Amino acid sequence: MSLTTIRRAAEAEWVRRIAFVVFDGFQILDLTGPFEVFQQANWPTGAYDVRVIAATAGPVRSATGLTILATDGVADIDPTTIDTVVVAGGIGVEQAITDTALLTWIRAAAASARRIASVCSGAFLLAAAGLLDGCRVTTHWSRARQLSEAYPQVRVDPEPIFIKDGRVWTSAGVTAGMDLALALVEHDIGRDIAHGVARQLVLFLRRPGDQSQFSVAMRTPPPSSDPISATVSAIHARPGDRHSLADLARHAGLSPRHLQRRFTAELGASPAAYVERVHVEAAQRALTESDDPLDTVARRCGFGTAETMRRTFHRTLGVAPSDYRDRFRSTIDYAQEH
């Protein structure tokens, strides 16, 4: 299909108005990343009218200090003309959710829009507007627990890069907004255009893995009692050990059954699950910081064999250990090899 034919087909249907909602303290890449995806798709197709909207038109300061110009304020644009609402996230979202005019406009736009979407903590704005009730959504893994606790009627899944639940699309942090935008472009005007945009921007059309591969910090609350704190300290002191339940119970001074119950209640994960995550994180560090063979990494990090480590990586991170090493090893090493 020629570019002229694609453009005419898009114009024959209609031009979709994409409204990016920003606020003081928004995350700059939450806007510029997906914005660029839509504009790249626009050049051959003319399918989109992309607007940047804030409480009032004019300069909006991002969390990094970079300032962009909002083309419209909420009083300047008819919310019923919006096809897709995309809400950015950022540290300013805590203040933005108190902006009655902004929330009112988002609700009005969502009432007639074909779909609504958020990038990163932009999900907090959609939730504050009452638009995520009953939906399965995602956000940046570091904000997932906060979102779930603040809006218990929202089903938060911290793992996926993005989620589509009906007409609600939500994405994880920062660059995941580009993954989301690519999926929206593919949904609108086809895989060929989306693939072309991905190639132009040097992106995955389908990024492998989920958010677990980007988080090294443990995503569990701190222990609230001394026995469980001692157990956690013992695990982290020797991350490559097997740490059987009996061994951990001796550290805690509890029976294995009592430890299992208290550990799970305080940390939200069983001792075995916690130990496995520590093994995975130790292997993540070893894979990116050394050239040791996979068998060596597996033995040193508590897996025993490379095959066991491979299966665990696939189950918990969605990638193979070798792929993880290639993707996240030192950029200096990568540059020297290429």
pLDDT at 88 over 50: yes
pLDDT at 249 over 60: yes
Give CA–CA dist 243/274, Å, rounded: 10
Alpha helices per DSSP H over the chain: 3-13, 28-45, 93-96, 100-112, 122-128, 144-150, 176-189, 191-201, 226-237, 245-252, 256-267, 271-289, 294-300, 306-316, 321-328, 331-337
Same domain, 54 and 186: yes
Same domain, 133 and 272: no
| pLDDT for the residue numbered 219 | 52
pLDDT at 155 over 90: yes
Reported as a pLDDT band with limits 50, 70 and 90, residue 5 is very low
Reported as a pLDDT band with limits 50, 70 and 90, residue 222 is low
pLDDT at 36 over 90: yes
Give CA–CA dist 124/279, Å, rounded: 33
Same domain, 202 and 238: no
Are 31 and 174 a contacting pair, CB within 8 Å? no
Same domain, 68 and 184: yes
| pLDDT for the residue numbered 98 | 97
CATH number, domain of 195, equals 3.40.50.880
Residue 18 lies in a domain: yes
Same domain, 319 and 202: no
Instruction: Compute CA 225 distance to the chain's CA centroid, rounded to the nearest angstrom.
Output: 32
| pLDDT for the residue numbered 158 | 83
Residue 220 lies in a domain: no
Same domain, 262 and 201: no
Q: Which residue has the higher pLDDT, 334 or 288?
A: 288
Q: Which residues are catalytic?
A: 120
Same domain, 199 and 250: no
B/e letters for 35-52, b = 16+ CB within 10 Å, e = fewer, are bbbbebbbebbebbbbbb
pLDDT at 10 over 80: no
| pLDDT for the residue numbered 285 | 83
Domain end position, chosen among 172, 207, 242? 207
Residue 219 lies in a domain: no
| pLDDT for the residue numbered 12 | 39
pLDDT at 3 over 50: no
**Number of domains the chain is built from:** 2
Rounded mean pLDDT of the chain? Answer: 86
pLDDT at 197 over 60: yes
Structure tokens at 316: 């918990």
CATH number, domain of 252, equals 1.10.10.60
Bridge partners (DSSP) of residue 246 are none
Bridge partners (DSSP) of residue 137 are 156
| pLDDT for the residue numbered 215 | 46
Q: Mean pLDDT over residues 98-121, rounded?
A: 96
Same domain, 135 and 203: yes
Reported as a pLDDT band with limits 50, 70 and 90, residue 217 is very low
Q: Mean pLDDT over residues 201-210, rounded?
A: 63
Would strands 136-137 and 72-73 be described as parallel, antiparallel, or unpaired?
A: unpaired
Same domain, 171 and 252: no
Give CA–CA dist 120/175, Å, rounded: 9
Same domain, 94 and 185: yes
Using one digit for the tens of pLDDT, what is the confidence trace for 224-246?
A: 778 888 888 888 888 889 899 99
Same domain, 252 and 170: no
Same domain, 179 and 46: yes
Task: Identify the domain containing residue 289 by its residue range.
Answer: 226-337
Residue 221 lies in a domain: no
Residue 260 lies in a domain: yes
Using one digit for the tens of pLDDT, what is the confidence trace for 44-60?
A: 888 999 999 999 999 99
Q: Mean pLDDT over residues 309-338, rounded?
A: 73
pLDDT at 6 over 50: no
| pLDDT for the residue numbered 8 | 45
Three-state DSSP string of 184-244:
HHHHHHCHHHHHHHHHHHCCCCCCCCCHHHHCCCCCCCCCCCHHHHHHHHHHHHCCCCCCC
